Amino acid sequence: MSLRKFLLALLFFWPTAANAGELTDADNLTAHDFEFKAIDGGRLALSQFAGKVILVVNTASRCGFTRQYADLQTIWQRYQAQGLVVLGVPSNDFGGQEPASNAKIKEFCAVNFDIDFPLTEKTVVSGDQAHPFYRWASDELGMLAKPRWNFHKYLIAPDGSIADWFASTTSPSSPKITNAIDQLLSKTS
- Which residues, 6 or more positions from 101, have their beta carbon under 8 angstroms from its beta carbon? 122
Sign of the dihedral defined by the CA atoms of residues 78, 79, 80, 81, in that order: positive
- How many residues make up the chain in this entry? 189
The count of C-alpha atoms lying within 13 angstroms of the C-alpha of 85, restricted to the half-sphere facing its C-beta, is 21
Q: Among the listed ranges 24-28, 166-170, 183-187, which one has the minimum average pLDDT value?
A: 24-28
The domain locations on the chain are 35-186
| 59 neighbors 141 (Cβ within 8 angstroms) | no
Clarify whether 63 is annotated catalytic.
yes
Residue 11 has a pLDDT of 39
Helix axis angle for 68-79 and 102-113, nearest 10°, is: 80
Q: Is the pLDDT of residue 16 over 90?
A: no
Neighbours of 47 (CB within 10 A): 12
Phi, psi (deg, nearest 5) at residue 55:
-105, 110
Identify the CATH class of 35-186.
Answer: alpha beta
Which pLDDT tens digit goes with each residue over 56-67? 999 999 999 999
pLDDT surpasses 60 at 142? yes
> In the predicted model, what is the mean pLDDT of residues 120-138?
96
22-33: per-residue pLDDT in tens? 444 556 899 999
User: Kind and range of the H or E element at 186?
Assistant: helix 175-186
For the chain, the farthest-separated pair of C-alpha atoms sits apart, in whole angstroms, at 44
Per-residue confidence at 13, pLDDT binned at 50, 70, 90?
A: very low
Segment 102-121, tens digit of pLDDT: 999 999 999 999 999 999 99
Task: Tell me the pLDDT band of 157, cut-offs 50, 70 and 90.
Answer: very high
155 vs 158: CA distance, rounded Å: 10
What is the pLDDT at residue 102? 97
pLDDT of residue 2: 54
Q: Considering the chain, what is the average pLDDT of its residues? A: 89
**Residue 104, CA atoms < 13 Å, CB-side half-sphere:** 7
Tell me what pLDDT residue 71 has.
98
Q: How many CA atoms lie within 13 A of 117 on its CB side?
A: 28
Assess contact for 52 and 152: CB atoms under 8 A. no
Looking at 31, 46, 55, 63, which residue is catalytic?
A: 63
- Please say whether the beta carbons of 89 and 57 come within 8 A: yes
The whole-number pLDDT of residue 161 equals: 97
Q: How far is CA 58 from CA 13, 14, 63, 160, in A?
A: 23, 19, 11, 18
Single pTM value for the model? 0.85
Query: What per-residue confidence (pLDDT) applies to 189?
Result: 65
Does position 7 have pLDDT exceeding 50, yes or no?
no
Lowest pLDDT segment from 10-14, 103-107, 112-116, 144-148: 10-14
